[in-house]
Amino acid sequence: MNLVQRPRRLRTQPTLRKMVRETRVDSSSLIYPLFVKEGKNITEEISAMPGQYRYSVDTLPYELERLSKAGVGAVMLFGIPEKKDELASGAWAENGIVQQALQTAKRQFPDLYYITDVCLCEYTSHGHCGMLCGDQVDNDRTLPVLAKTALSHVQAGADMVAPSDMMDGRVAAIRTLLDQNHYENIPILSYAVKYSSAFYGPFREAAGSAPCFGDRKSYQMDYHNKKEAVKEAALDLKEGADILMVKPALSYLDVIKTVEERFDVPVAAYSVSGEYAMIKAAAKNGWIDEEAVVCETTASVFRAGADLLLTYYAKELAQFISEGRIG
């Protein structure tokens, strides 16, 4: 046949396929979520997330060393306190679990980049992400607590803070307090577009953060909405966010693409616990090739427009990248 255009010409050799690859995946774009728990000598596997663990401050450095050797350069810390109360006092305590973890981590592995999740759900006795007024979350009364928590993380050594609560105005509150305390150069990675999702189930077991009553649909987004995602992202950017996140990732690739096209800032995506758990469960049953699915789904997130990816597969992906199995 007399075909002028033959797209298969560029697929004939592995080297050529890599040369013309449109989507590049690099380990510098990966962020690994880590759970740190109060106590000692804890390395506790999370039953709903096989291969993921809760660490105490004394065992955390062993995992940080593994991450560093694997080529993962950034982590996000989630704290699990021993005690909770209605005021989430453990979130901003000088000797809180995240604050302790930061001090140890920065001292032993200063070359890693430390991001902290700023939310109150792990620290409140009721499990909601803010202060309560009756059975409702009080948006405005929550803002100073979130700002105080972010400041305490930075004072303990955080390189970046990431508010995930979805309260209106929290980015502005955090930015104002950080600037007032001369932390103008600390960036904010905002969970700008965080949907109320069924994919969070395993995380709530991991962090002990399930609400004691009701749900989070009054502050997390309705998964039917995309225009609202643009609105939320624009507001956070105006308030001082430096990076915008879409969470979850796989069911919201269209939203990642929309945010990436509309805003001239880096876009992050969070491949959440439910996405991880589904792959693990299917692989355990022999229904899928785990490595192949991890690589394919990861590429899809970057192809959609993400610049950064929070993923529980960060260590494996860094290895796959170094071995040329994805990249």
Q: How many residues does the chain have?
A: 327
CA distances from 137 to 92, 93, 200, 260 (A): 19, 22, 20, 31
Show the tokens assigned to 116.
């902290």
In degrees and rounded to multiples of 5, residue 7 shows phi and psi of: -55, -25
Show the tokens assigned to 216.
């989070």
Which residue is associated with the tokens 């962020």?
31
**Pairing mode of beta strands 308-311, 30-37:** parallel
Alpha-helix residue ranges (DSSP H) falling in the chain: 14-19, 60-70, 89-92, 97-108, 139-156, 170-180, 201-207, 227-239, 253-262, 273-284, 290-304, 314-322
Active site residue 247: yes
The catalytic position among 247, 257, 280, 315 is: 247
Amino acid, single-letter form, for residue 220: Q
Can you give 1-25 as a three-state secondary structure string? CCCCCCHHHHHCCHHHHHHCCCCCC
Active site residue 194: yes
Q: Whole-angstrom Cα distance, residue 40 to residue 65?
A: 18
Q: Does 248 sit behind a cis peptide bond, omega within 30 degrees of 0 on the bond before it?
A: yes
The catalytic position among 37, 84, 194, 315 is: 194
Name the β-bridge partners of 246.
193, 269
Which residues are annotated as catalytic?
A: 194, 247
